[in-house]
């Protein structure tokens, strides 16, 4: 299993909308993400900065499958209107520097 961190940023004035729209995600999208190997996907927000922690079997496979998903394409259109720059599905995530377990 892979664990990776991603970072995105919201446009000013979009934080409350983003929080509200993430209260629940579409059931078909969640079902697909689980079928494609997502174990957990957590998002924290600090002002406009978003930090994602993803635990997935294979992130590259997930991104490939989600690229062809109508549910994901609709969700990305909905979310990208709130982001300062579109989410980059090709990102390999943040470089981990240190961990205490």
What's the predicted TM-score (pTM) here? Answer: 0.89
Q: What CA–CA distance (Å, rounded) separates 100 from 59? A: 23
CATH value at residue 20:
3.30.70.100
Positive or negative: CA dihedral 30, 3, 80, 46: positive
95: in domain: no
**What's the mean pLDDT in 90-101?**
86
49: in domain: yes
90: in domain: no
Residue ranges making up the domain that contains 34: 2-80
DSSP states along the chain: -EEEEEEEEBPTT-HHHHHHHTSS--HHHHHHHHHTTEEEEEEEEETTEEEEEEEES-HHHHHHHHHT-HHHHHHHHHHHTTBSS---TT---PPP-----
Q: Is the pLDDT of residue 98 over 80?
A: yes
pLDDT digits (tens, 9 = 90+) for 18-55: 999 999 999 999 999 999 999 999 999 999 999 999 99
Q: How many domains does the chain have?
A: 1
pLDDT digits (tens, 9 = 90+) for 57-92: 999 999 999 999 999 999 999 999 999 986 776 777
99: in domain: no
Predicted local distance difference test score (pLDDT) of residue 85 = 83
68: in domain: yes
């Amino acid at each position: 299993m892979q664990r990776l961190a991603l970072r995105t940023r919201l446009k000013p004035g979009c934080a409350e909308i983003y929080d509200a729209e993430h209260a629940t995600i579409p059931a078909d999208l969640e079902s697909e993400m689980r079928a494609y190997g997502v174990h957990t996907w957590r998002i924290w927000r600090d002002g406009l900065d978003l930090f994602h922690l993803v635990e997935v079997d294979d992130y590259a496979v997930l991104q490939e499958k989600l690229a062809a998903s109508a549910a994901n394409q609709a969700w990305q259109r909905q979310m990208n209107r709130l982001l300062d720059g579109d989410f980059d599905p090709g990102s390999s995530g943040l470089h981990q520097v240190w961990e205490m377990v």
